Amino acid sequence: MKLWATRSMLMGAATLFVIAGLPACGREADTAKPSVEANKESAAMRTEVPLTRPIALDKAGEVANVEFELPPPGPNASPELMLGVRLVRPDAESGTSLSIRLVEAGIAARVSLIRMEEGAIKTVPLTRDAANLRERIPVPIDGTVPGLTMSGVEPSLLESAGLVDAALYYDVLQFAYAENIKPGHYRLTIELTGEHPEFRDDTAELLVAYFKKAK
């Protein structure tokens, strides 16, 4: 069964790194498994949230520069947009291990989200979670965040978009998020500010998605 943690669940269990694991549900049901090849092709072309893009975490510099359309969140999602990283691994053990290493590495970045509407550009204020996942901290105007924190997103939107493979394990890590965000056209840029050669051989994806609504 897939574990999709809400933000409130994560904050309530900040000391348990493993709660952020997102193993795919129905792992044993081969008939329900999406086509990995079809998913990769559609993901690369997708310009509507939720969306993913391959990124590297080992070198300093810009790793994401993407424009996208943001639809309304839907009934199961909150109006908070998660800007971060998704790890795709063959099993829970390797996925959780890599997540913990990435959090502990302090992968600092500059994150910028702008709303583009009728020729006007407006910078969107961002927030990040503290390392203990219990405090919300405004991201400064230059967009600097000190690293990744454990996170989670609303699952059904990713499933509907064909961005989930039932045979794989997913973890979500967050740089920052936008609160009470409105639908529209946006551009996101993320620039890593340090070198992390220890992650040269580890693959990751940019993930832009709504959080799951707390019950």
Whether 106 maps to a domain, the answer reads yes
Whether 70 maps to a domain, the answer reads yes
Work out how many domains the chain is built from and give that number: 1
Whether 11 maps to a domain, the answer reads yes
- pLDDT tens string 111-143: 999 999 887 899 999 999 999 889 999 999 999
CATH number reported for the structural domain that contains residue 124 in this entry: 2.60.120
Whether 31 maps to a domain, the answer reads no
Whether 202 maps to a domain, the answer reads yes
Write down the pLDDT at residue 191: 98
Instruction: List, as own/partner pairs, every contact residues 94-99 make where C-beta atoms lie below 8 angstroms and the sequence separation is at least 24, other chains included.
Output: 94/169, 95/21, 95/23, 95/169, 95/170, 95/171, 96/17, 96/18, 96/21, 96/171, 98/171, 98/202, 99/17, 99/20, 99/21, 99/150, 99/171, 99/173
- pLDDT tens string 38-52: 356 677 789 999 999
pLDDT at 19 exceeding the cut of 60: no
Write down the pLDDT at residue 1: 27
Whether 95 maps to a domain, the answer reads yes
| Domain containing residue 52 | 7-25+36-212
Whether 54 maps to a domain, the answer reads yes
